[in-house]
Amino acid sequence: MAEVNGVPPTPEKPTVLLVLSPVHGDSDTPEWKRLYERFNVIQYDCKTIDEFCERLKPGGPYSKINAILRTGWLKAGPFADQQLFRGQPVEFFPPSLKFIACTGHGYDAADIDALSEKGIAYANTPDTCTEPVANTALHLILNTYRYFTLAEHYTRTDQWMGSREIGPVAIEPAGQVLGVVGLGDIGVAIARKAAYALDMKIHYHNRNPRPDLEAKLPEGATFHSSLESLMDVADCICLACPLTEATRHMISGPLLARVKDRQIRIVNIARGGLIDEDALLDAMDKGQVVGVGLDVHANEPGVNPRLRDNYRTTLLPHIGVASRTTWNNFDRVNITNLDEFFFGDRDRVTLVNRTRI
């Protein structure tokens, strides 16, 4: 565009498709104000994926969008079951679409390979729900040792004397080995809380050793290069790693068989697909797994009936993230990523596929 009366032209505002969960952060923040000042915002309201695809086609209302911003709690609201960034919709993404910003520490809900092939940058929101999820993990770890869920069930159903069976089987986690799988932001926070609050010994399996973490814990931490090695010594395994094809069903029958005559506890605050639930249930029947705490499940929102009916397990509805603090963090990082991508420094954007586009 040419200058007018010596004044440089104002670039057109990028158009962003806003997919907003009804559960999100405060709407009167500087980030939200900046979003509406700098972008043309189209509010997403598709009832189905097919409708979304139709609107993406040439001439459709979404055919010239430059970005998609999906923020708030992905598990709540009318779009909770809509997979927008993988499968059929990706085929219809217009050439104008250059950036997607989406809530979450993980990114398994997006087909990163397909997006990268189209030259679309994808950003998640790391370290935005670390404290809430780590606190949830601490709750689940303690419950696998003390069976408070079973105790509450007895209390609420007037089975006071039945609760006396808990005493002989409950033990304290102090001195026990917690095996953390995945030392990202959340895994590190879990290790720190368990070491200081519960006096547990920390072992971990990660792609690389974390000497920085080891130095910060009261008794250090022990690195295991394989999950098998960790399973051989851990009293409680806590999963805090991403779900990928390589990690799917990482807690499997063969791995649990290594427990042999020992007893172990399993906690999962990451993704349900990390555990083969049939294998887990078999190990519980054999007395090898004696405590289970799950915030995530293999077939969400469904819960395995055998787990649901067992009050020796603690089951949550994927709610570890659920905190107003989290919603504000999600929105802040998402909108800041969007702003930096189009108007600032792209090196500051938390891109998942930075090296592939």
Considering the domain architecture, whether residues 153 and 298 belong to the same structural domain is answered as: yes
Tell me, yes or no, whether 202 lies in a domain. yes
Strand partners for 274: none
Strand partners for 357: none
Considering the domain architecture, whether residues 99 and 169 belong to the same structural domain is answered as: no
Tell me, yes or no, whether 9 lies in a domain. no
Considering the domain architecture, whether residues 288 and 342 belong to the same structural domain is answered as: no
Strands in 289-294's sheet, in edge-to-edge order, are 221-224, 201-205, 177-181, 236-239, 264-268, 289-294, 313-315
Considering the domain architecture, whether residues 19 and 137 belong to the same structural domain is answered as: no
pLDDT for 179? 98
Considering the domain architecture, whether residues 103 and 203 belong to the same structural domain is answered as: no
Mean pLDDT computed over 12-27: 90
Tell me, yes or no, whether 8 lies in a domain. no
Considering the domain architecture, whether residues 155 and 51 belong to the same structural domain is answered as: no
Give the model confidence (pLDDT) of 28-44 as tens digits. Answer: 888 999 999 999 999 99
pLDDT for 307? 94
Closest CA to 333 of 121, 14, 29, 23: 29
Tell me, yes or no, whether 10 lies in a domain. no
Considering the domain architecture, whether residues 158 and 289 belong to the same structural domain is answered as: yes
Tell me, yes or no, whether 218 lies in a domain. yes
Q: Which region among 45-54, 101-110, 240-249, 343-352 has the lowest average model confidence (pLDDT)?
A: 101-110
Considering the domain architecture, whether residues 117 and 42 belong to the same structural domain is answered as: yes
pLDDT for 127? 87
Considering the domain architecture, whether residues 169 and 55 belong to the same structural domain is answered as: no
Tell me, yes or no, whether 159 lies in a domain. yes
**Pairing status of strand 264-268 against strand 289-294:** parallel
Considering the domain architecture, whether residues 108 and 182 belong to the same structural domain is answered as: no
Give the model confidence (pLDDT) of 245-287 as tens digits. Answer: 899 999 999 999 999 889 999 999 999 999 999 999 999 999 9
Indicate the SS3 state at residue 257: helix
pLDDT for 11? 56
Give the model confidence (pLDDT) of 117-154 as tens digits. Answer: 999 999 999 989 899 999 999 999 999 999 999 999 98
Considering the domain architecture, whether residues 122 and 104 belong to the same structural domain is answered as: yes
* Rounded Cα distance, 84 and 50, in Å: 10
Mean pLDDT of the chain: 92
**Helices and strands of the chain, counted as H and E runs:** 13, 12
Tell me, yes or no, whether 147 lies in a domain. yes
Please state, for a pLDDT cut of 70, what percent of the chain lies above it: 97
Structural domain of 332: 15-128+323-356
Residues noted as catalytic: 271, 300, 318
* Total of domains in the chain: 2
* Rounded Cα distance, 349 and 356, in Å: 14
pLDDT for 252? 96
* pTM reported for the whole predicted model: 0.82
* Rounded Cα distance, 89 and 99, in Å: 15
Tell me, yes or no, whether 6 lies in a domain. no
* Rounded Cα distance, 127 and 66, in Å: 26
- Residue 27 belongs to a domain with what CATH number? 3.40.50.720
Considering the domain architecture, whether residues 352 and 261 belong to the same structural domain is answered as: no
